Amino acid sequence: MTRLWARGVSRSVRGLALCVVVLVVASLAAAVEPARACSCIPPDPWSYLRKADGAFVGHLVSRREVDQGRAVLTFDVERAVKGKIGTTVEVTTANNGAACGIETSVGRRIGLFLMREGDGWVGHLCWQVEPADLLAAAALPAPNGKGPAMLFVGGQFGPARTLALDAKGRTLAYGMGNGEAVNFSVCPGGQRVAEVVEFAGMRGGDLVVTGYVIAIRELPTLRLLRRQRLKRGYYDGDIRCADESGKKIALFSSDTGAHGRLRLVTPRTVTTLWRGTAFYASTTERFAYIQVLGPAREKLVAVDLRSRLMRSLGTVPVHGAYQLVPNPAGTRLAGAAFEEGCRGAACAHLLVIDLRRRPISVRSIPLPTECCGYARWLGDDRFAYFSGGPIRVYSAALRLTARVRGWTAVSAVSVGSTVLGLDPLDGRLFAAKLPSGPVRVVRRLPAGVPQVLVSATG
């Protein structure tokens, strides 16, 4: 991601970039030589919004030619973002695109930055942008991050539903769109990210899920590359991008009745790789590990995402295991087990599964709380456990090595030895370097409804 592309603008904006124009605005009043052409450099909508006298989103209603190579375009204004612009506005521009005249068709929705010239408005091709980019510049702080994307935040932030953050929690780019991003997976090679989007609406007075979409975005710009609607069903589960292009997505989901399904989604097909009774699965780049429910114990099954072959790895002696998290090497799973309907200290366990052994080797220790917590690996041999109190750091042998107090976030991800967490109520992003800490507030996210925080490295 270059610095300019980190603004999260669309490809169309690049082609019609806000820019230094070879033919300046003053040339609108003069005839243009046929050999000349309009040339633009990449845009920064936030910068141009500050400099422009006016800006709006609207639809072209009519166009009329006037003298000296100019045209006057009349727009219905959907939203005036800057300046005193009424419900309609007339904009003077060159009469052709080669002279940097605005290029759009009647009825098309565009965003446009304007300069004041006397009593009228002037615009040109390089001030023409996608509406979402203009609305983002008006509603969201300018990106200020550096380096690769390390975190993704899904939710609703005005015109955006996705934020890409750098290692320090600064915004790199915005992903525009409706709906709510509920999960992410970075594709091998780090050039694409797959996003599961949930749509909801009111039905009979209740808010219900109406559908899901898989969106493939470019990194690090978060420009939307592909959007694929999924058939009716539950898709709010584990996701893994299985190739560099984002054309193969492994998706596990389960409903409240434990009707689990592992699917391989491509642009043309949706293939079921496994179906059975399960609530949870964990995926690595190569395998999906599914916790199959049994009468008294859970069986761990591995599905090879490349060959599509399935094999049983053994049973988990602790009943109720869920949200098992693979370590970076894909050799262990860590998580907690809470037996449904059970009461007392013997009902909750922390466990580590060694996937290198056949059958699998399972270590477990009792937990001091009945419910509920989750694990995040810090490396191959250490992981942090979060349960609403102090962060506990364990070795793979389940030896407690550290406690860090002051953690109040309700979700967490790990970037190396640093954990970051999100408070969805006020948008605060927390961080702590483990095993010592302390816990600190990194920033407050843009006004909105953050719902999910995912590491780009996990």
The answer on pLDDT for 383 being more than 70 is yes
- The answer to whether the pTM exceeds 0.85 is no
For the chain, the domains span 4-136, 179-316
Total Cβ atoms within 10 A of residue 331? 15
Burial of 80 (0-12, 13-18, 19+ CB in 10 A): middle
Structure confidence at residue 360 (pLDDT): 94
Paired tokens of 362: 């399972």
* Rounded-to-integer distance, Cα 24 and Cα 457, Å: 46
HSE-CB of 438 using CA atoms within 13 angstroms: 3
* Rounded-to-integer distance, Cα 399 and Cα 215, Å: 41
The answer on pLDDT for 16 being more than 70 is no
Could you tell me which residues are beta bridge partners of residue 208?
Answer: 201
pLDDT band at 255, cuts 50/70/90?
Answer: confident
Paired tokens of 275: 């179906």
Paired tokens of 410: 């309700």
Structure confidence at residue 27 (pLDDT): 40
Listed in sequence order, the residues at least 6 apart from 43 whose beta carbon sits closer than 8 Å to its beta carbon are 7, 9, 13, 14, 17, 18, 19, 126, 129, 133
Q: How far apart are the first and last CA of the chain?
A: 20
What is Dmax (Cα atoms) for the chain?
87
What CATH number should be reported for the domain whose range is 4-136?
2.40.50.120
* Rounded-to-integer distance, Cα 267 and Cα 279, Å: 26
* Rounded-to-integer distance, Cα 142 and Cα 441, Å: 20
CB-CB contact of 114 with 125 (8 Å): no
Q: What is the pLDDT of residues 146-168, one digit of tens each?
A: 999 999 999 888 889 999 999 88
CB-CB contact of 385 with 391 (8 Å): yes
C-alpha pair distances (Å), 196 with each of 16, 342, 443: 30, 34, 25
139: DSSP letter? H
3-class secondary-structure state, position 68: coil
Listed in sequence order, the residues at least 6 apart from 341 whose beta carbon sits closer than 8 Å to its beta carbon are none
13 compared with 169, residue with greater pLDDT: 169
pLDDT band at 302, cuts 50/70/90?
Answer: very high
C-alpha pair distances (Å), 450 with each of 173, 178, 418, 438: 15, 14, 20, 24
Look at the domain 179-316 and name its fold.
Methylamine Dehydrogenase; Chain H (2.130.10)
Q: What is the pLDDT of residues 275-285, one digit of tens each?
A: 999 999 999 98
C-alpha pair distances (Å), 427 with each of 64, 156, 423: 49, 11, 5
The answer on pLDDT for 14 being more than 60 is no
